Structure 1
Amino acid sequence: MSVRMRLSIAIVILACVTLSAATDIRLATLVPANTSWHKALLDMGNTWNKDTMGRVTLTVYPGGTQGDESTTLKKMQNDVLQAAFLTSVGLAELDEAFNVLGMPFFIDTSDEEAAIEKRLTPMLEQRLQAKGLHLLGWGTAGWVELFSKKPLRTLADVKNAKLFASKGADKWVSWYVSNGFHPVALLPADIPTQLKLSTGLIDAAPNPPYLALSLQIFRDAKYMLDVHIAPLVAGLIVTNTAWNRVTPDDRAKLTAAAQALEQRVRTEAPIQDAESIKQMQARGLQVITLDPKAAAEFRAAATEVTATMRGSMVPADIYAAAVQERNAFRKSHGR
């Protein structure tokens, strides 16, 4: 056999090995298509492809096209999907510890949220590993505010509203009901339609301003109560089955790109939210800002409600760690 023939065969074999080693990770998310979050995921995928020289590729399915978060998790179990960018509600279906990230009126600032997240991440990673999942990183996309069809100024007003709640999050719905709220479980995609209807099932919906602008819900829910309900936190997870198909060197590259995404959305979110509020106000949105006394009363009442989550919605050890970190952060910053 000639040297040229041997070289040709070697090239073919090498190509076959390279192709067989390629890993395509299919990721689903509720993040709407063409939003900055979706673009950040696409850019992360491009980085994966480039940095691993095509050994790892990412296909992103945005806007709930693969189903709600419960369906996404089932598809991950069957290897139809290998990854997801899930909200804290979706993550809580895996372990209730993740409810800590969405507790209403528990966190005041983005820096406070980052400190709590850093403290809890090792504990939450362990819980995911027990489920056969790997946490690649977080995505914090601004603050959830309350948009409504009529002005809301007190916690009593909020309790009387027909409030959107995530379909499938049955325990959250039960918690709201037991604390005097009136939640209505729907898919996020149902929010604009139900707010538009005069006989709609909801008249208030928590949303980050950027998403409220993207979905145009402010046209019907013309009031925004500026109280920072909770940060909108999502977790980027991948099945261990898929993760183990990736070489250690490539895992480091994937992790670095995921961390870059985390920093990107954390940096962009407050800018986008501020600009979104400005644009919505120009189109008729009325922002309700409470005076210091009213804000303190609202927070005090809300804190009592949130405390009922300890042990019921959030495991006691996770809740205690979150409170400890939050209080330590506030003390170190003179609050």
Structure 2
Amino acid sequence: MNNSHYTFIRRCINAAGFLTLLFVCANATAARPLTIKLATVAPKGSVYHRVLQEMGEKWRAAQGGNARFIIYTDGIQGTEAETVRRLRIGQLQASMLTTVGLMEIEPTVVAMQFMPMTYRNFAELDHVLTSMRPKMESDFANKGYRVLLWGMGGWVQFFSDRPRVMPEEFLGAKIFTWAGTKDQENIMKSMGYRPIVLDMSDILPAVQTGMVDVIPAAPVWALAGQFYRNTPHMLRVNWVPIVGATVLSNTTWDAMHPRARVALTEAAAQAEATLREHRTRLDEGAIEAMQKRGLTVHEPTAEVEQAWRRMMEPVMARIRGTLVPAETFDTVQSLLAEYRVNHQ
């Protein structure tokens, strides 16, 4: 056999070995169990936790191969900013975040939650979210994340240590403000208010020690966090809606079996529908439970509500282009104007 024959045979053996190696590696990758670690500030046992559990079980069954879906509730993986950092470095693969966390990934989402007294009801919010959703989800995808579902956590109300109703009665009060929202803090200061910047985990000790007098929060969070006991007066003004989303890294999505992607998409849609169905009930149920434990609810008169809206008029001009990107701000206002004309 001449040298050319030996060379040909050697090349065939090398090629076969390389293909075998590729086959083995591909099968090893396919066989490796996929784990999704998801973090959220939502309380354990809450409806938010339950829909995540149901979604995870359906995905796990479809993925097979000893796949795991691990949920970390109650902010035990850190603040939402810390959670996003963990997502970026691959310690977590998914998270159910409020707007405070989502804005760390994609800033335009702030329009859903950081425009006070803008949305009058859930119907208006639904209209804006439905209209802006495709663009926002595309923006998240470009940042490396797939939005699985959107959810609402009720309306933010003002919980105070003593009766406060008119806007000027909150001047001088120490008001909790989310950490990581510097523009909001600056706007509040310019209005004469005293923002106290804290992470969610610090709210209860802060209110117990008098570090904070007023907590803007959705009733379900006030009940879960138990801080309404030290702020037993609630002004019901529907300040802003709590809006959130559950995101998953594109890398994890790409690693899934195709049937698991279908199962997860369907389960996420069902989870979103469940949260939408419960959102009003959650607010009312939480308020009722707190009232039984001593909470006093102050319903605003038309005069009080008008005073709050007048107070916000000059502030909205400062929010536009700082807290909320100008183009996004204008889009929201245009969508609301269109909706209100058609739903008078």
Q: TM-score, normalised by structure 2?
A: 0.86
Instruction: For residues 171-225 of structure 1, give each alpha carbon's deviation from its aligned partner in whole angstroms, at most 9, with x where no partner exists.
Output: 332232233321111111221222222xx21111111112212222221101001
1:167 aligns with 2:184: no
For residue 163 of structure 2, what is the aligned residue in structure 1? 151
Alpha-carbon distance between aligned partners in 1 of 2:63 and 2:170, rounded to the nearest angstrom: 49
The counterpart of 2:195, out of the listed 171, 183, 200, is: 183
1:60 aligns with 2:91: no
- CA separation of 1:159/1:133 partners in 2, compared to 1, >3 Å: closer, same or farther? farther
The counterpart of 2:337, out of the listed 318, 327, 330, is: 327
The counterpart of 1:79, out of the listed 73, 90, 97, is: 90
Alpha-carbon distance between aligned partners in 1 of 2:66 and 2:152, rounded to the nearest angstrom: 28
Unaligned regions of 5+ residues in structure 2, if any?
1-23
**1:141 and 1:266 in contact (8 A); partners too:** no
1:50 aligns with 2:61: yes
Q: Which residue identity does 1:37 align to in structure 2? A: Y
Alpha-carbon distance between aligned partners in 1 of 2:142 and 2:93, rounded to the nearest angstrom: 16
Note the C-alpha offset of 1:60.
0.8
Instruction: For residues 22-64 of structure 1, give each alpha carbon's deviation from its aligned partner in whole angstroms, at most 9, with x where no partner exists.
Output: 4211111111222221122112211222344457542111111
SS of 2:56 mapped into structure 1: helix
SS of 2:239 mapped into structure 1: strand
**1:106 and 1:303 in contact (8 A); partners too:** no
For residue 288 of structure 1, what is the aligned residue in structure 2? 298
Alpha-carbon distance between aligned partners in 2 of 1:160 and 1:51, rounded to the nearest angstrom: 55
**1:25 and 1:82 in contact (8 A); partners too:** yes
Mean Cα deviation higher: 187-196 or 155-164: 155-164
**1:96 and 1:313 in contact (8 A); partners too:** no
Q: Write out aligned runs for 1:112-151 (5 A).
A: 112-151=124-163
Identity level (%): 30
For residue 322 of structure 2, what is the aligned residue in structure 1? 312
- CA separation of 1:21/1:219 partners in 2, compared to 1, >3 Å: closer, same or farther? same
Alpha-carbon distance between aligned partners in 2 of 1:90 and 1:294, rounded to the nearest angstrom: 32
Alpha-carbon distance between aligned partners in 1 of 2:319 and 2:261, rounded to the nearest angstrom: 36
**1:140 and 1:262 in contact (8 A); partners too:** no
Note the C-alpha offset of 1:291.
1.0
The counterpart of 1:101, out of the listed 112, 135, 150, is: 112
- CA separation of 1:245/1:237 partners in 2, compared to 1, >3 Å: closer, same or farther? same
1:245 aligns with 2:255: yes
Note the C-alpha offset of 1:242.
1.0
Alpha-carbon distance between aligned partners in 1 of 2:80 and 2:99, rounded to the nearest angstrom: 10
Q: Write out aligned runs for 1:186-201 (5 A).
A: 186-197=198-209, 200-201=210-211
For residue 4 of structure 1, what is the aligned residue in structure 2? none
**2:63 and 2:257 in contact (8 A); partners too:** no
Note the C-alpha offset of 1:81.
0.5
1:39 aligns with 2:43: no
- CA separation of 1:50/1:174 partners in 2, compared to 1, >3 Å: closer, same or farther? same
- How many equivalent residue pairs? 318
Instruction: For residues 70-103 of structure 1, give each alpha carbon's deviation from its aligned partner in whole angstroms, at most 9, with x where no partner exists.
Output: 1111111111111111110111122321211112
For residue 6 of structure 1, what is the aligned residue in structure 2? none
Alpha-carbon distance between aligned partners in 2 of 1:75 and 1:264, rounded to the nearest angstrom: 28
Alpha-carbon distance between aligned partners in 1 of 2:58 and 2:313, rounded to the nearest angstrom: 42
**1:224 and 1:287 in contact (8 A); partners too:** yes
Alpha-carbon distance between aligned partners in 1 of 2:340 and 2:248, rounded to the nearest angstrom: 34
**1:105 and 1:306 in contact (8 A); partners too:** no
Note the C-alpha offset of 1:19.
6.7
For residue 28 of structure 1, what is the aligned residue in structure 2? 39
Q: Which is higher, the Rg of structure 1 or of structure 2?
A: 2
Unaligned regions of 5+ residues in structure 1, if any?
1-12
**2:236 and 2:298 in contact (8 A); partners too:** yes
For residue 16 of structure 2, what is the aligned residue in structure 1? none
Q: Please tell me the root mean square deviation across aligned C-alpha atoms, in Å.
A: 2.0
- CA separation of 1:44/1:152 partners in 2, compared to 1, >3 Å: closer, same or farther? same
For residue 282 of structure 2, what is the aligned residue in structure 1? 272
**1:56 and 1:246 in contact (8 A); partners too:** no
SS of 1:244 mapped into structure 2: helix
Alpha-carbon distance between aligned partners in 1 of 2:66 and 2:149, rounded to the nearest angstrom: 21
Alpha-carbon distance between aligned partners in 2 of 1:323 and 1:158, rounded to the nearest angstrom: 27
Alpha-carbon distance between aligned partners in 1 of 2:136 and 2:232, rounded to the nearest angstrom: 37
Alpha-carbon distance between aligned partners in 2 of 1:305 and 1:161, rounded to the nearest angstrom: 19
Note the C-alpha offset of 1:170.
2.6
Q: Which residue identity does 1:307 align to in structure 2? A: A
Q: Which residue identity does 1:24 align to in structure 2? A: T
Q: Which residue identity does 1:130 align to in structure 2? A: N
For residue 3 of structure 1, what is the aligned residue in structure 2? none
